[in-house]
Chain A
Amino acid sequence: MAQRFPARAQAFDELVRCQERRVLRTALRILGNLEDAQDAAQEVFLRLFKYFDRLDPVREVEAWLYRMTVNVCYDHLRRRRPVEVLDWDPPLAPAQETALDIADRRRLLELGLTTLSPRERAVIVLRDIEDLDTRAVAEILDVEEVTVRSQLSTARLKLRRFVEKKR
């Protein structure tokens, strides 16, 4: 028994070390700010700690962490007051207006993500940023694949329009 707990703690630490950037990154893209993402990530790992013994560390943990991250982020978004998206224009010199640099394009995309509904955001984060296939996304979000495709096409078109409008 005495040996069990150090081994468990070590396994948990190792798992957190491997997964914390992924969880933090996913939460950041869904929530849109680092502070909330950190809170969400901490909550996810607290839940992981609670259910750690019941999970298969090889097969289940990754999908479980994505699912938990999305759910925790949904909770955060529900508690958060609605934020009106600002009419944001990247501060560019006139000569650069047609060629946004990489950092500005990223900021534009991040802002565009915040204009999507939470479910559309989750779908696009999991599919296009985390590069999971639609079946995995459907399992994580506990919806049908056809629902994922529908939300995915909507989200991509919304993002495209947003980016086009801001260019």
Chain B
Amino acid sequence: MTCTDLERDVALYAGGDLEDADMVENHLADCQGCRAMLEELQGLRGELAGLRDVALPQVSVPRPRPVRVWTWAAGAVAAGMLLLLIPKPAEVAPPPRMVWVAPGPVIELKPLAHARGSEARRVAVQKVAPDTEFVKILTDDEDVVILWAMNTKGDLR
């Protein structure tokens, strides 16, 4: 066995990490060079161990904070209350706006440009009596306007 062959074993022996040390110890007894290397390695280990005791700068590791159950519960309740306060979207369309139209002279309804079918034509030519009042009902659709015609007795025309 040469010194090079035993170099790794000497490195382990320096820290007491060699399981079977007989061969290395026999070699060390006869080899001054390897004894010197052993001393260096042991010195190195001592210096490495010294790094453990080197004062580190006073730094503190930020610590995570546990969140308590009641905090979660309070958060959940608050979130629930907020949800209750938020107005719900309207499920039905708002009623059409109604505009009162005062009674006036005889009105002849003009056919709508896009009116289709017999019903539209019949309405278009109908003469309305002077005692008729109209309620004009606006809807969300600009093209749809409902005219509600009635006489002063409340009869629908």
Taking Cβ atoms with an 8 Å cutoff, the residues of A that contact B are 1-2, 5-6, 8-9, 12-13, 16, 20-21, 23-25, 28-29, 34, 38, 41-42, 45-46, 49, 102, 105-106, 109-110, 124, 127-131, 134, 149-150, 152-154, 156-157, 159-160, 163-164
A-B contact pairs, 8 of them (CB 8 A): A9-B65, A16-B63, A106-B50, A106-B51, A109-B47, A130-B52, A156-B41, A156-B45
State which residues 6-46 of B face A: CB under 8 Å: 7-9, 11-12, 14-15, 17-18, 37, 40-41, 44-45
Residue contact B12 to A128, C-beta cutoff 8 Å: no
| Inter-chain contacts of A109 with B (CB < 8 A) | 44, 47-48, 51
**Given A28-B56, A42-B61, list of 20 further CB < 8 A pairs?**
A2-B70, A20-B61, A23-B61, A24-B61, A38-B61, A41-B61, A49-B63, A49-B64, A106-B51, A109-B51, A128-B48, A128-B49, A129-B48, A129-B49, A134-B17, A152-B17, A156-B41, A157-B7, A157-B8, A159-B44
- Say which residue of B15, B17, B54, B69 sits within 8 Å of A1 (CB atoms): B69
Closest residue on chain B to residue A28 by CB atoms: B56
Total inter-chain residue pairs, C-beta < 8 Å: 100
CA distance A131 to B64 in the complex (A): 29
CA distance A159 to B45 in the complex (A): 10
Q: Shortest distance in angstroms between B99's beta carbon and chain A's nearest beta carbon?
A: 63
| Inter-chain contacts of A45 with B (CB < 8 A) | 61, 63-64
| Inter-chain contacts of B7 with A (CB < 8 A) | 157
| Inter-chain contacts of A127 with B (CB < 8 A) | 15, 17
Closest residue on chain B to residue A35 by CB atoms: B59
| Inter-chain contacts of B49 with A (CB < 8 A) | 128-129, 131
Q: How many residues of B contact A (CB 8 A)?
A: 34
Taking Cβ atoms with an 8 Å cutoff, the residues of B that contact A are 7-9, 11-12, 14-15, 17-18, 37, 40-41, 44-45, 47-52, 54, 56-57, 59-66, 68-70
Closest residue on chain A to residue B18 by CB atoms: A149
CA distance A8 to B65 in the complex (A): 10
